[in-house]
Amino acid sequence: MIAVYPGSFDPVTNGHIDIIQRAAKLTDTLYVAVLTNPSKKPFFTVEERISLLEKVTEDIPNVKIEPFSGLLIDYAEKIGAKIIFRGLRAVSDYEYELQMALANKKLKGDTETLFMVANSKYSFLSSSLVKEIATFGGDLTGMVPDFVISEVEAKIKRR
């Protein structure tokens, strides 16, 4: 079975990694699909995000990292995925994710969205929060892998 876990991963957090590890155990191939959205100004380029994800998933043989743009459901169909994994941290995530899952179901009825509840130690964590903390010089230990901390700090210094 082929599945996809989409996101911006800007940057990848320990919460993302937890979902990737858990989802990879449930499927033959898990595509981690990195969203390219031309209307947004990402912190890291798509290539940088893919590179970070490749490094954190190098020990998970059934994970493939790819960029995508456009409708997720079209990308899922292109790669043959019948499952979309989405992580939920809070009720507010559920409302948005439910809307997306129902829209995807309407567009392509044979693809299922499976929600994975975030590990409680990561339930507060988001890429936006990581960037905000880093911008103000806060400690990112435990939120992202150590090498990602270095990449985030280097990116802030270059800005």
Does 102 appear as a known binding residue?
no
Does 77 appear as a known binding residue?
no
Q: How many CB atoms lie within 10 A of CB 87?
A: 22
Does 136 appear as a known binding residue?
no
List strand residue ranges (DSSP E) for the chain, in order. 2-7, 29-35, 63-68, 83-88, 112-117
Contact 11, 130 (CB under 8 A): yes
Beta-carbon contacts of residue 42 (< 8 Å; ≥ 6 apart): 8, 10, 49
- 3-class DSSP state for residue 100? helix
Does 5 appear as a known binding residue?
no
Does 97 appear as a known binding residue?
yes
User: Is 16 designated active site?
Assistant: yes
User: Is 82 designated active site?
Assistant: no
Does 147 appear as a known binding residue?
no
User: Is 89 designated active site?
Assistant: yes
Does 87 appear as a known binding residue?
yes
User: Is 40 designated active site?
Assistant: yes
User: Tell me, what amino acid is at 1?
Assistant: M
Catalytic residue (choose from 40, 51, 121, 150): 40
Q: Token pair for residue 134? A: 């880093």
Catalytic residue (choose from 64, 89, 105, 108): 89
Does 158 appear as a known binding residue?
no
Q: What does the longest C-alpha to C-alpha distance in the chain come to?
A: 46
Annotated binding-site residue numbers for substrate: 8, 40, 72, 86
- As annotated, the binding site includes 8-9, 16, 40, 72, 86-89, 97, 122-128
Residues taking part in catalysis: 16, 40, 89, 127
